[in-house]
A and B are shown apart, each in its own frame.
Chain A
Amino acid sequence: MSAETVASAKPEAPAPRGERFWRMPILVWLAAGFLVLVAVIATFAQVLMPYGYEDTNLLFRLKPPFWSSLSIEGHVLGTDKLGRDLLSRLLVATQVSIALALLGTLIGAVLGTVLGVLAAHYGRLVDEIVMMLVDWQAAMPFLIIALAVLAFFGNNFYLFLALMGLAGWETYARLTRGLVLSAKEQGYAVAVRALGARPWRLYVRHILPNVIGPLIVQLTLNFPQTILLETSLSFLGLGIQPPLTSLGQMLGEGRDYLLTSWWLAVIPGAVIFITTLSMSLFGDWLRTRLDPTQR
């Protein structure tokens, strides 16, 4: 009887899962499509850009984009105050912002996950210290910390990247700690221990693969926050410094010309908005997909 049910359930069981996975709402499809576009831009910005992003041409300053009768041939999105091609700058800015956010998110994820595992493994004092740091980090407005650090130590790309990494690590730490604490009590974790495995093998081979789902989802939710932090700091002039550019920095520069050449600020602003929105939509969908209780 039980063998029968197993046999009959087998062939059709995997099919609906794969099918349903691709049955995404139209909004999620759009979001995913936009993210792919952003990924392509971030990878191939140097190939795609029609001009060098630093090339100035003071004869064509603040030219409007293609829809205006004042636009000039070759500069699809117009030019900025130094006559630099806005499209080329936008491509590079997207690349820089995405790369920073990606690296920052990854640093935060790795740092938080490692600390979370350590807290769950050692317990007691280590746990207390890690959770105290988590609470401290969660209680401080991170923008204030970042402002203070950058004001004290001056701006430098690696320091900025490190700050990006520090933003949001505490969510991973808290999440990982909880997941590992419950996974540790599962039969398979006890079994691996009873086999004589070292903790390293237990965590790397068994526990982490089993808890990685929620962590990946957290990654997709944290990513837009990191983009926003980067753009906020760059907007305030504390992030990426000229001549290099980023979406936030473009937004900050464009703000001065909001009344006369509004597109300088609005276009990068729209890119930020749509990218983070897409990421959030996709991440949210992924979370409900991977969480069996919400399926």
Chain B
Amino acid sequence: MNGTSHEPAPILRVQGLAKRFPMPRERLFGPRPMLTAVADVSFDLTAGETLAVVGESGCGKSTVGNLVLNLLAPSAGAIAFEGEDLSHANAARWRARRRDLQLIFQDSRGALDPRLTIDRQVAEGLDIHRIGAPSDRLEKARQMLDSVGLGGHLMGRYPHELSGGQQQRAVIARALVLEPKLVVCDEPVAALDVSVQAQVVNLLQDLQRTYGLTYLFISHDLSVVRHVADRVAVMYLGRFVEVASRDALFSQPAHPYSRALIGAVPAARSRHGRRVQPVALHGEPPSPLFPPQGCALNPRCPFATDQCRQERPDLRPLPGGGFVACHHVENLL
């Protein structure tokens, strides 16, 4: 999935990213079981595009976001931003880099300090990175709040005095006032009412056009993803199982898991009106503590063979574009 020669250099290149969490010992001197939240995730992001990461809750998609921003230390893998390898960067270098790499949270209320007014909180990033004269910072923060639709009297409010949508706008303003290049949106609308969801999604898209932002958009909501994404990565049990352009994925998902996921959306139809043939998976996702041998999906997949039970498939390119990790994808299409 590395960028080919005719594409522009990626703004973010992630290679072999992994995160393992040590779990409590089961016996006093027993070994520590490791929970593999993310395994061998690689992708490139081109400036200005939106890559959505979708999957069930617990599949590790939020962990990917946190690893990209170094809010969690990766167990393995390399992250390069604008060509700069950040996997060995020290804390000070990361702090300086955070100006360009920002985060928008799912829980916008929890993400705001309950004891500070929102204009002060938006101005804080400018204080931290010493952007502009100290006396102008609050003014700049207020302009940013105004441009996300929180004008006038709302600026001096405390977070609990705002509605959920307004809080999310404040969180967006706080991230964007630094004029970042890459924004990780971690389920940015999942906690909002459907009517407010649309407003916030549209706001994010407007801001992307205005500032030329690159989004890593983490979501389990396929209708939102279909609206915002350029490319989509489908994640299952800590691994990318399919990466494809939005149109390709929604019209012709290749991986059995993608087909189950997309077929489960009632309105999921291809552009030609053909219904995506849903794949019925058996049972529940296994515990990430004890991932199955071979392909992670094999106990649930109706097409699983002995090969699937023994060999783990790698992501490989498909003739029509996109990447899939499935041994039998050619036969399934």
Q: Chain A: residues with CB nearer than 8 A to chain B?
A: 2-3, 6, 10, 186-188, 190-198, 201, 205-206, 209-210
Contact = CB atoms under 8 A, between A and B. Distances in A.
Contacts of A201: 128
Given A194-B69, A194-B103, A195-B98, A188 B113 contact: yes
A201 B129 CA distance: 12
Contacts of A206: 113, 115-116
A191 B112 contact: yes
B112 to A, nearest CB: 6
B124 interface: yes
A3 B163 contact: yes
A2 B163 contact: yes
Interface string B171-194: 100100010000000000000010
A191 B111 contact: yes
Contacts of B99: 196
Contacts of B111: 187-188, 190-191
A197 B110 contact: no
A195 B124 contact: yes
B100 to A, nearest CB: 10
Contacts of A192: 113, 124
Nearest to A206: B113
A212 to B, nearest CB: 9
Given A206-B113, A210-B115, 6 more contacts: A187-B110, A191-B174, A194-B98, A196-B95, A196-B128, A206-B116
B128 to A, nearest CB: 5
Given A2-B193, A3-B163, A187-B105, A195 B128 contact: yes
B128 A210 contact: no
Nearest to B113: A188
B114 interface: yes
A197 B128 contact: yes
B40 interface: no
Nearest to A186: B110
Interface in B50-89: 69, 71
Interface residues of B, number: 30
A218 B96 CA distance: 38
Contacts of B174: 191, 195
A6 B111 CA distance: 20
A266 to B, nearest CB: 47
Interface in B79-138: 94-99, 102-103, 105, 107, 109-116, 124-125, 128-129
Contacts of B97: 196
A290 B114 CA distance: 15
A3 B102 CA distance: 30
Contacts of B71: 190, 193-194
Among A191, A206, A210: residue with most chain B CB under 10 A? A191
Given A196-B125, A198-B95, A191 B163 contact: no
Contact of B102 (A190, A194, A198): A194
A158 to B, nearest CB: 36
A198 B92 CA distance: 9
Contact of B107 (A10, A187, A197, A209): A187
A7 to B, nearest CB: 11
A174 B96 CA distance: 33
16 contacts: A2-B163, A10-B161, A188-B110, A188-B113, A190-B71, A190-B111, A191-B111, A194-B69, A194-B71, A195-B125, A196-B94, A196-B95, A196-B129, A198-B95, A206-B116, A209-B115
Contacts of B193: 2
A201 B96 CA distance: 15
A188 B94 CA distance: 19
A196 B96 contact: yes
Nearest to A193: B71
A210 B111 CA distance: 13
Contacts of A197: 95, 124, 128
A191 B159 CA distance: 14
B103 to A, nearest CB: 4
Nearest to A188: B113
Contacts of A187: 105, 107, 109-112
A195 B112 CA distance: 12
A201 B113 CA distance: 13
Among B96, B111, B171: residue with most chain A CB under 10 A? B111
A191 B103 contact: yes
B49 to A, nearest CB: 22
A188 B114 CA distance: 8
B35 to A, nearest CB: 18
A248 B237 CA distance: 67
Contacts of B124: 192, 195, 197, 205
A165 B178 CA distance: 44
A38 B278 CA distance: 78
Contacts of A210: 113-115
A291 to B, nearest CB: 16
Contacts of B178: 195
B209 to A, nearest CB: 24
